[in-house]
């Protein structure tokens, strides 16, 4: 199993991949687009994408890319994210003038950063990549928000640990592949996208097809439809497998009134308790 992820070695996406699928080979990519390209070309068998964080919200670019590519979701995983403020060994906090990190990590540590007056906040493409930039550039006036593993990989010291705003800082990841076959288990969760005609009650009617069949929506979010100003695409996660009769009928029912419906994948739900027991 070969998994592409966005970021440098030590990125949270790589950590999530190795914890969920120990022994997998991981391949670093500069951009999320490159993760999809690696899977589509067969350079890797799978790609792992962060899609939402319990503090920072959704990573919208990846939802857009899921629609742009025909690469089904085959699994999901979650990672408890612990952020650290990293700098070159011997550097102390009063010396820091800038902090580098990915925008999501900066948002997740907003309250801590507010305690550092006069510090310049610089958004970068990756958390671990920020740590690498400090190491490669010998930047003694700069710190990075990244993982403890990134500190080990790039020889940095931790100035502060666990600086995220909330202890329950969890990121959800989706695993994509060219092959829709599941790695293990049975599908009990389905991700779909759909667009509706602009008419009174359209969203109510769309959601009613799931309520009538007692299907829980664990996520519902709208995104602007590319090339169609002021029109929207809805993303939904259903707590049911696509092959379940009630779920299949609900999606067919939705398609009768929607402009279009697309199933992004049907896969086993992530169960933290099972993962802790080593069964996931």
Given the residues 15, 171, 190, 263, the one annotated as active site: 171
Report pLDDT for 227. Answer: 84
The mean pLDDT value of the chain amounts to: 93
Report pLDDT digits (tens) over 90-128: 999 999 999 999 998 999 999 999 999 899 999 998 899
Given the residues 32, 154, 173, 210, the one annotated as active site: 173
Using a pLDDT cut of 70, give the percent of the chain over it. Answer: 97
Q: Is 221 strand, coil or helix?
A: strand
Residues in the chain: 280
Report pLDDT for 226. Answer: 84
Residue 21: pLDDT above 50?
A: yes
pLDDT band at 56 (very low <50, low <70, confident <90, very high): confident
The answer to whether 190 is a known catalytic residue is no
Neighbour-count burial for 223-249, b at 16+ CB within 10 Å, e otherwise: eeeeeeeeeebbbbbbbbbbebeebee
- Cα 8 to Cα 85: distance, rounded to the nearest angstrom: 17
Q: Long-range contacts made by residues 245-250, C-beta under 8 angstroms, separation at least 24?
A: 246/213, 246/214, 246/215, 247/190, 247/213, 247/215, 249/213, 250/209, 250/210, 250/212, 250/213, 250/215
pLDDT band at 280 (very low <50, low <70, confident <90, very high): very low
Q: What are phi and psi of 52, to 5 degrees?
A: -160, 150
Report pLDDT for 22. Answer: 94
274 vs 20: which has the higher pLDDT: 20
The answer to whether 124 is a known catalytic residue is no
Report pLDDT for 273. Answer: 46
Could you tell me the domains of the chain? Answer: 2-80+169-180 (3.40.190.10), 84-161 (3.40.190.10), 189-267 (3.30.70.260)
Mean pLDDT in residue range 161-187: 93
Instruction: Please name the residue that has the structure tokens 């010998």.
Output: 138
Mean pLDDT in residue range 166-187: 93
Report pLDDT for 272. Answer: 62
Report pLDDT for 125. Answer: 87
pLDDT band at 278 (very low <50, low <70, confident <90, very high): very low
Report pLDDT for 279. Answer: 35
| Global model pTM greater than 0.85 | yes
């Amino acid at each position: 199993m070969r998994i592409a992820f966005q970021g440098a070695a030590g990125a949270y996406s790589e950590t999530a991949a190795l914890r969920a699928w120990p022994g997998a080979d991981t391949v670093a990519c500069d951009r999320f687009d490159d993760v999809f390209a690696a899977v589509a070309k067969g350079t890797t068998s799978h790609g792992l994408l962060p899609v939402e964080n319990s503090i920072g919200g959704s990573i919208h670019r990846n939802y857009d890319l899921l629609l742009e590519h025909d690469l089904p979701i085959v699994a999901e995983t979650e990672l408890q994210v612990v952020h650290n403020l990293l700098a070159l060994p011997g550097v102390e906090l009063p010396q820091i003038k800038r902090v580098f990190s990915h925008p999501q990590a900066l948002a997740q540590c907003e309250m801590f950063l507010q305690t550092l007056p006069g510090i310049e906040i610089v958004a970068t493409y990756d958390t671990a990549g920020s740590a690498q930039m400090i190491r490669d550039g010998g930047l003694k006036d700069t710190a990075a928000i990244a993982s403890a593993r990134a500190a080990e990989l790039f020889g940095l010291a931790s100035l502060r640990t666990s600086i995220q705003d909330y202890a329950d800082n969890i990121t959800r990841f989706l695993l994509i592949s060219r092959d829709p076959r599941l790695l293990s288990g049975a599908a009990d969760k389905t991700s779909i996208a759909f667009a509706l005609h602009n008419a009174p009650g359209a969203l109510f009617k769309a959601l009613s097809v799931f309520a009538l069949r007692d299907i829980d929506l664990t996520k519902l979010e709208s995104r602007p439809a590319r090339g169609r100003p002021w029109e929207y695409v809805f993303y939904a996660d259903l707590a049911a497998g696509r092959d379940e009769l009630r779920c299949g009928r609900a999606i067919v029912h939705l398609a009768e009134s929607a402009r279009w419906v697309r199933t992004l994948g049907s896969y086993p739900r992530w169960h933290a308790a099972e993962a802790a027991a080593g069964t996931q």
